[in-house]
Amino acid sequence: MADIIHLLPDNIANQIAAGEVIQRPASAVKELLENAVDAGATEVKLIIQDAGKQLIQVIDNGKGMSETDARMSFERHATSKIRNIDDLFHIRTMGFRGEALASIAAVAQVELKTKRADDETGTYLEIENSVVKLQEPVAATNGTSIAMKNLFFNVPARRNFLKSNAAEMRHIIDEFMRVALSFPNIFFSLTNNGTQIFHLEKGSLKQRIVQVMGQHYNARLVTVQEKTDYLNIYGFVGKPDTAKKTRGDQYFFVNNRFIRSAYLNHAVMSAFKEMIPADSFPLYALFIDLDPAQVDINVHPTKQEIKFEDEKIVYAFVQAAVKHALAQFSITPTLEFDLDPTIQQLDALNKPFTEDQQQAARSSDLAKNFSQRGQAHFINPSDKAELKHWKDFFDKDGTPPPMEGGGERPATGYGQKEEKFESLLDKLKKQEGVGDYVPPAQNYTTFAKQLVDDNALLFQLHSSYIVAPTARGFMLIHQQLAHERILYERFAAATVGKSIPAQRSLFPVTLQLSAADAVLLMELAGDLNQLGYLIEPFGTNAFVVQGTPADVSTGNEKLAIENLLEQYKHFSSDLKFSRREKLIRSLAWQQAIKPGTSLSLDEMRGLTTDLFKCAQPNVTASGNPTYIEFKKDYLEQLFKR
């Protein structure tokens, strides 16, 4: 029989390797940026077209390559970083395997220009499907420019699995931000389809964090700095009020390499315990420097997962460093010297304190009490402060006296006259005679009409639940979940039919977002327009909110959209939802009335009526029950009747 095992051709082997290293355009961006950093560049420019599907180009002013090195760099496992096995355990560079350029050349059309400072001319290479198409000398500036065109042109199945341009662009921005945060001493820029998104000048780590994440973090960062013989930890964590519902702004770097570590993340979360809500995530950018021999970075093709020789020690140091930083913050909070402009306009600052005003202040009873030694606790009695005994307010039979001039005392509570508890029980007992109970599953509208129109008593419990009597028991309605179901069906109908009318703002609000959030908002703009949000681009990463749905109160437009984006990102990890589904669920959660909100009787009636008009009133879109029914038989069993 013939032998069946044979070696793969180089181009097929390279494509298989590329499947591990180059999963999407962002993967190529990461590899090319890290190569530029390793080349000693002080300026790195990233140029993107069509979310990286058409072009990814990185231009740096690093040391460049010779003609031979330029050609060799596209061979598999060709590297300048490793000579023997010991070098593998002392790596401080970003790349070392020699797989990146070979993998890129296997799935894209690559053009390379490179020149060393000592060379008169540079080298130009064209490579396609791992085959060198052209190699020639060229005039070039010092450094390297590598352009990667038509990603996955020869693997159409892989190209079809790519997400939308907006989704792929968000991944590119994430990778760009990670490398930019690692090296604040290097200039970085990112240009997408001719528009510059990032222009990051060299500076300190805090300046780079503020440049990348937003100016509003400038006064909301706490310094982390701990030095030990084993490792050093430095960086910043956000104050507790910066915690969000998503994990977006969380970065760990080991020897300047971005890593993912659920174990170390737990260390930070435990340091924030009881300072932030359980479902919130703090901001942090923490750098761990330790001997490369104590860490193995060669455990994953993307090098984002690593292993520590003793991870328990690292965990303890991270937890202690963050706790120490937060403790210092709480004891000696940072002073803010930027005064609110409105404070400067107060009369106390603008107008003089005249002699008459000073004399009036000195002669006041309050000033006298505090000016006399030991008399600060003393308060002059006043006839106005004396109150009659509260029982005198009522007559002997326990009812309040009539109002002066006759007439009834106004209604209280839920808009009904005050009554004794016994009469309330009588009414509840009378509910049994209303007629046959119609289960909501059979006829929601009829049930709701019976519940609301027949003088049924509705009560609010703990400002979170609505208690509604029924023909044979009562229902406990969760006001937030019920409102979520109502809004969800309203928004779902708007996305496929008539859009929700927008309420135009008299004074449009300008919204400045981070680059990643700006890309996300552009992706959602069309659907948001259907839902009553009129949002227009207004420069780089800025938008103008021209109108919002009537439910959004004036002055809260900015907060509403920021919360919407956060909630949308909270859903984005679940692949089974479409973009539109995530959006309407996010809006329903954001605009629903929250627990702790007091409702009037009319508001409770309206909410209950709208709930039972829904196509599926018993559960929210995520499957949580909107109400629980307690039947009379079950209640009697509880009391062993």
Instruction: Write the pLDDT tens digit of every residue in 148-196.
Output: 999 888 888 778 888 888 888 988 999 999 999 999 999 999 999 888 8
The domains spanning 10-199 and 419-641 adopt the same CATH topology: no
- For residue range 35-63, list pLDDT tens digits in order: 899 888 999 999 999 999 999 999 999 99
pLDDT of residue 301: 60
CA-to-CA separations, 510 to 217, 516, 536, 549, 558, in angstroms, rounded: 18, 17, 10, 17, 8
- The domain defined by 205-331 folds into Ribosomal Protein S5; domain 2 (3.30.230)
Average pLDDT over residues 369-376: 54
Classify burial at 135, counting beta carbons within 10 Å of its beta carbon; exposed 0-12, middle 13-18, buried 19 or more. Answer: middle
pLDDT of residue 421: 38
* The domain defined by 419-641 carries CATH number 1.10.760.10: no
pLDDT of residue 44: 94
pLDDT of residue 160: 82
pLDDT of residue 72: 85
Whether residue 34 is predicted with pLDDT greater than 60 in this model: the reply is yes
How many whole angstroms from its chain centre is CA 341? 29
The rounded mean pLDDT for the chain is 77
Average pLDDT over residues 393-410: 49
DSSP for 181-192, please give it.
HH-TTSEEEEEE
pLDDT of residue 233: 93
Whether residue 251 is predicted with pLDDT greater than 70 in this model: the reply is yes
At 115, the pLDDT band (50, 70, 90 cuts) reads very high
pLDDT greater at residue 131 or residue 346: 131
pLDDT of residue 124: 92
Homologous superfamily, domain 10-199: Histidine kinase-like ATPase, C-terminal domain (3.30.565.10)
Distance (Å, whole) CA 486 – CA 481: 9
Residue 147, φ and ψ in degrees, nearest 5: -115, 130
Does residue 59 contact residue 143 with C-beta atoms inside 8 Å? yes
pLDDT greater at residue 469 or residue 393: 469
Whether residue 327 is predicted with pLDDT greater than 90 in this model: the reply is no
Task: Tokens for 9, please give them.
Answer: 């051709």
Whether residue 409 is predicted with pLDDT greater than 50 in this model: the reply is no
pLDDT of residue 339: 47
- For residue range 137-160, list pLDDT tens digits in order: 999 899 999 999 998 888 887 788
Average pLDDT over residues 593-615: 86
Does residue 347 contact residue 250 with C-beta atoms inside 8 Å? no
Whether residue 481 is predicted with pLDDT greater than 70 in this model: the reply is yes
pLDDT of residue 147: 93
At 331, the pLDDT band (50, 70, 90 cuts) reads very low
- For residue range 536-572, list pLDDT tens digits in order: 888 778 888 888 877 666 666 777 788 788 777 766 5
DSSP for 387-421, please give it.
---GGGGS-TTSPPPPPTTS-PPPPBTTTB----H
Determine which of 52-56, 346-350, 498-502, 552-556 has the lowest per-residue pLDDT on average: 346-350
| SS3 assignment, position 391 | helix
Whether residue 520 is predicted with pLDDT greater than 50 in this model: the reply is yes
pLDDT of residue 228: 86
Determine which of 63-67, 338-342, 481-485 has the lowest per-residue pLDDT on average: 338-342
Determine which of 269-273, 418-422, 483-487, 553-557 has the lowest per-residue pLDDT on average: 418-422
Q: What letter does residue 416 receive in the DSSP assignment?
A: B
Average pLDDT over residues 607-621: 87
Beta bridge partners of 49: 55
Determine which of 353-357, 426-430, 582-586 has the lowest per-residue pLDDT on average: 426-430
pLDDT of residue 362: 73
Q: Which helix (H) or strand (E) holds 45?
A: strand 43-49
Whether residue 95 is predicted with pLDDT greater than 80 in this model: the reply is no
Distance (Å, whole) CA 520 – CA 121: 43
- Which residue ranges make up each domain of the chain? 10-199, 205-331, 419-641
Closest by CA to 155, choosing from 130, 192, 126, 125, is: 130
pLDDT greater at residue 355 or residue 252: 252
pLDDT of residue 60: 93
Distance (Å, whole) CA 462 – CA 480: 13
Whether residue 308 is predicted with pLDDT greater than 70 in this model: the reply is yes
